[in-house]
Amino acid sequence: MKKSLLAFLGCLTLTAASLAGCSSSKPAETSAAPAETQAAAAEEEAPAASGDTKIALITMDSIDQHWVTLNEGAQKAAKELGVTVTFMSPNTKDDAQQIECVNNAVAGGYQAIIVAANGPDAISSALKEAASSGVKLVYVDSPANVDAEATFSTDNEAAGKTAGEEMLKALEAAGVTSGKIGIVNVNAATDSTVKREAGFRSAFEGTGFELMETQYGEGDAAKSQTIAENYITQGVVGIFGCNEGSTTGTGNAIKASGKSDIVGVGFDKSDAILNLIDDGYLLCTMAQNPDVMGEEGVKAAVAAINGESLGGKVTDTGVSAIKAGGAAAAAAGTSDGDVKASKEWKIALITMDSIDQHWVTLNEGAQATAKEVGVTVTFMSPNTKDDAQQIECVNNAVAGGYDAIIVAANGPDAISSALKEAASSGVKLVYVDSPANVDAEATFSTDNEAAGKTAGEEMIKALTAAGITSGKIGIVNVNAATDSTVKREAGFRSAFEGTDFELMETQYGEGDAAKSQTIAENYITQGVVGIFGCNEGSTTGTGNAIKASGKSDIVGVGFDKSDAIMNLIGDGYLLCTMAQNPDVMGEEGVKAAVKALEGESLGGAVQDTGVSVLTK
């Protein structure tokens, strides 16, 4: 009787939620044998869940295409894991309605809430109450100021800066070096769009352009169009839209004005935005990966419900700039179901070596996708990093009749001649991790410079916390030619600009753990207070050197993830590592190769596959 009464009250609560504006889509059906999946950021198998696991997904609204796509990703993961995910978001962006959705989820007995918060503080009280009642919290897209198990979002400030740089390039190409720039934002409280604006503004520092006062359209396309039209009457040369509605309104305003010389740049992806790009009314848009946020959010929620500690990690789910020519491919999406192979294409995967765990994981992602879409991917990488051997692999792929090559180039020019010959013979090229200076269909890699800067900032925070504000810092890199690690070093060095630390001359260990350990040991004899390893081997060597020295006060920070690195972090010999998503690179690389072979134009799009900071 008591159970029946509780069930009845729960139904009343959810009915009230629906009347209050919290919409609810049909949850994923449970599976008797849930599939085993990998969390992209943690690269660990998500635990199986019982069929009665209930997770609420609450986004800012239930209509915007961004949230619809995020829900699609969540439902896909829910089906694979055998859990119920209920999309119970308000129909419009409203703090009171979102708070009510959170309260309804708690009252309805949901074990976890995946939420895109309206702002850092707007719904914090409700989330704190939810957490105190034992509900697990996971953020997607936009976090609040309440601790959560994990966050999956775009590095919005970096993406906003990219948007600004794209606008600058287009204006300069048109001979425009000064003028007014308008900004259409959602409001002054939504953390994600505020950061996009901050990044966009930072791109114009030191230029002759005047960035006007931001106007807010609440993400509504019609309101945003009116704002953009007002900017146009004031003679702007460019307008930036901070989200889907803002961008659609901006493009529509430029279209209505007939002034094709105004550069419109935006954020998010929808059919309307892609059509405006293809028609020339917008230059480009920063396309996020909301489906990835949804998928990884569900995996993290299930892991947390099953007792795993996720450490509150923040994972950047990446962004790419979509322009005319790339819009058609973007419209097709990137989910597995969108990629269909009409024949068993032969694809070669050539990485820097075949032993490093990073490349092994990348291959695993590629093989999983190859099986799903029905193509053959051959992992034909050299046993060690060697330009001549990698060139030979490329030549062998061409001679072997492979239709496409997915490659992580040793350097921007090291194997360029071989790649040019491959392309001239009709082979499609896709880059993963590290591109060469040869045009390719698409590139899937980490924003290495931004990630390197993050590594530097983590080291500075640790040193400052220990009362150390000066001293020598060593850097162990692979070589001076590998584009990815050179950029990581550049980003790391930039974090120390204006400090009293002395960054020593970089030493190169070719990614070999033993050589890197010797280098790190030499740094330690010179009295360094910190050492940065630029890849897996460099990081392992650095940690081993600190361990052998017995000097636990030396701060070691690295790149990539392996069992050895995670053990060194766990034992306190490394502070943290920047964990990339090589499995995502492999998966997306295969999808892109198949799309290109099937005749789609991908426009040379570059997609950031994200990075997260893994600490003890």
| Mean pLDDT within 478-495 | 92
List every span in the chain annotated with CATH 3.40.50.2300: 2-32+46-154+290-315, 156-288, 332-446+582-615, 448-580
Q: How many CB atoms lie within 10 A of CB 507?
A: 17
Spatial contact of 317 and 272, defined as CB atoms under 8 Å apart: no
CATH superfamily for domain 156-288: Response regulator (3.40.50.2300)
pLDDT digits (tens, 9 = 90+) for 237-291: 999 999 999 999 999 999 999 998 999 999 988 888 988 998 899 999 998 888 9
The domain over range 448-580 is classified in CATH as 3.40.50.2300: yes
Nearest to 613 by CA among 22, 42, 2, 19: 42
The predicted pLDDT at position 21 comes to 52
Which class is 332-446+582-615 in CATH?
A: alpha beta
The predicted pLDDT at position 338 comes to 57
- Entry pTM: 0.49
Q: How many CB atoms lie within 10 A of CB 235?
A: 10
> How would residue 100 be classed by pLDDT, with cut points 50, 70 and 90?
very high
Output the average pLDDT for the chain: 87
The predicted pLDDT at position 22 comes to 65
The predicted pLDDT at position 325 comes to 54
User: Helix, strand, coil: what percent of the chain each, to 5?
Assistant: 45, 20, 35
pLDDT at 3 over 50: no
pLDDT digits (tens, 9 = 90+) for 311-352: 888 888 877 778 775 444 444 344 344 577 888 899 999 999
Q: What angle do CA 489, 495, 500 make, to 5 degrees?
A: 110
pLDDT at 586 over 80: yes
Higher pLDDT, 104 or 189: 104
% of the chain beyond a pLDDT of 70: 89
* 310: phi then psi, degrees, rounded to nearest 5: -95, -5
Separation CA 569–CA 565 (nearest Å): 6
| Mean pLDDT within 4-26 | 41
Which range, of 148-157, 320-329, 479-488, 491-500, averages the lowest pLDDT? 320-329
Which of 2-11, 370-379, 519-528 is predicted most confidently? Answer: 519-528
Which of 323-332, 380-389, 445-454, 528-537 is predicted most confidently? Answer: 528-537
| Mean pLDDT within 518-545 | 97
> How would residue 233 be classed by pLDDT, with cut points 50, 70 and 90?
very high
Distance of CA 470 to the CA centre of its chain: 33
Distance of CA 612 to the CA centre of its chain: 9
Task: Name all contacts of 417-425 with Cβ < 8 Å and 24+ positions apart.
Answer: 417/391, 418/391, 418/394, 419/394, 421/395, 422/394, 422/397, 422/398, 425/398
CATH architecture of 2-32+46-154+290-315: 3-Layer(aba) Sandwich (3.40)
pLDDT digits (tens, 9 = 90+) for 277-319: 988 999 999 988 889 999 999 999 999 999 988 888 888 887 7
| Mean pLDDT within 4-9 | 37
Burial string for 479-491 (b: 16+ CB within 10 Å, else e) reads beebbbbbbbbeb
In angstroms, the Cα distances linking 370 to 339, 434, 595 are 10, 21, 12
Separation CA 251–CA 241 (nearest Å): 9
Dihedral of the alpha carbons of 527, 530, 535, 536, in degrees to the nearest 10:
90
| Mean pLDDT within 552-562 | 93
What single DSSP character describes residue 326? T
10 Å CB burial of residue 206 (0-12, 13-18, 19+) is exposed
Q: What angle do CA 325, 329, 335 make, to 5 degrees?
A: 160
Q: What is the DSSP code string of 382-421?
A: -SS--HHHHHHHHHHHHHTT-SEEEE--SSTTTTHHHHHH
* 163: phi then psi, degrees, rounded to nearest 5: -60, -45
10 Å CB burial of residue 570 (0-12, 13-18, 19+) is exposed
The predicted pLDDT at position 568 comes to 96
Cβ neighbours for 309, distance < 8 A, ≥ 6 positions apart:
none
Residue whose tokens read 């114009």: 204
The predicted pLDDT at position 607 comes to 82
The predicted pLDDT at position 17 comes to 39
Q: At what angle do helices 65-81 and 290-305 cross, to 10 degrees?
A: 40
10 Å CB burial of residue 505 (0-12, 13-18, 19+) is exposed
Strand partners, 474: 531
Spatial contact of 429 and 442, defined as CB atoms under 8 Å apart: no
